[in-house]
Amino acid sequence: MSRIRLDSISSLIFYKDTVTASRRAPAVQQLKCLGEPCRLYRPDVVRCVSLGGSDTDVSWKCEADLPEALRFGAVEVLCEGWDGPSDPYILKGSCGLEYRLVQIPDALRRPGADDPAYRGRLSSWLHDPAAAFFMLLWVAVLAFILYNFLSSYFRPRAPAPLGGGASRRPWWGPGSGPGWFPSTRPDDFDPFAHDPPPPYTTTTKGGRWRPGFWSGAALGGLGAFLANRRPARPRAPTSMYDWEGERAFRQTRPVPAPVGSSAGSWGAGASARRRGGRDEGDRGEGPSNLGGMRSGTGIGSSRVR
């Protein structure tokens, strides 16, 4: 057993289902959760970094993977004093962490109307004149297309003439028999000889209006403009945290026993660890109804027992 000054420690790592070293007082769990939310989820590993201090008054910043529905509350690092509770020297490996978890209501986890990053589409149109103009233009074009489609669909068609049109005169004239080439009328070979007289119209009665190229291009451009104006939802970083990297490296080699006293960074799990068959590769994802995993941070102080 060795001792070390509490204010000389730069970081501590605590593990679930692992006990601390002890000399004067009974050993305790390295991670102790307090409160009702503890039954929902408890992190497997917590890393605390010293924020500075003197003697036994040291501040800590603790970080762990937590579901979106949970946050760190109060955190406190407790260590066993070498000679007593007020001793700035502590027993190496005797530190543990007491923490509380706070459950976040679902209403606060969902994007709200007051959040600028998640404002509704209507709110963004009201605050952006250009977006409102293009929205009104898009509605007008859509209404125009719909009106033309419905009006052409329900428009009554003109009845077709009975008898298939005007009767044609025989191609032979009076006084001449059939089969004579000179008696053939020139207009009999003209496909437009029996068309109705002018004026002519270029539209066909009863024809339905169909969307054309320009109407489709206008709708596509407006849709792309409105889609590109949607604010991007911030995403949580997916990089591995530094304490996860240290843990992964530690799994590839045996943990050496502590030799002597040394200042700097040292793990609280240097004592004998009883994990109860915990899977080292499991990050401890919580229940699905608590949301995805992200990094949770808590700030607290220290106490020497």
- If the chain, 305 residues long, is cut into consecutive pieces of 10 residues, what is the mean pLDDT of each piece? 92 95 92 93 96 92 94 95 91 95 81 51 65 83 86 70 52 49 49 55 51 64 64 49 46 46 46 41 54 91 92
Q: Model pTM? A: 0.47
Give the pLDDT score at 38. 93
How many whole angstroms separate alpha carbon 23 and alpha carbon 95? 12
Q: Which helix or strand (DSSP H or E) is residue 63 part of?
A: strand 57-67
Give Cβ neighbours of residue 114 (< 8 Å, ≥ 6 apart).
none
How many whole angstroms separate alpha carbon 139 and alpha carbon 246? 57
- Look up residue 29 and give its two tokens: 């769990």
| Site of tokens 């992190």 | 43
Give Cβ neighbours of residue 124 (< 8 Å, ≥ 6 apart).
131, 229, 231
Give the pLDDT score at 238. 46
How far does CA 30 lie from the centroid of its chain?
Answer: 34
How many whole angstroms separate alpha carbon 39 and alpha carbon 283? 17
Residue 4: beta bridge partners?
90
How many whole angstroms separate alpha carbon 65 and alpha carbon 105? 19
Give the pLDDT score at 200. 53
- Look up residue 214 and give its two tokens: 């320009």
Phi–psi pair at 286, nearest 5 degrees: -80, -175
- Look up residue 56 and give its two tokens: 């036994």
Give the pLDDT score at 234. 52
Query: Residue 277 half-sphere exposure, CB side, CA atoms within 13 Å?
Result: 0
How far does CA 43 lie from the centroid of its chain?
Answer: 23
**83, 72 Cβ separation under 8 angstroms:** no
Domain ranges across the chain: 3-111+237-304, 113-154+204-232
Amino acid at 97: L
**Rounded to 5 degrees, what angle do the CA atoms 160, 161, 164 make?**
110
How many whole angstroms separate alpha carbon 275 and alpha carbon 284? 14
How many whole angstroms separate alpha carbon 97 and alpha carbon 85? 16
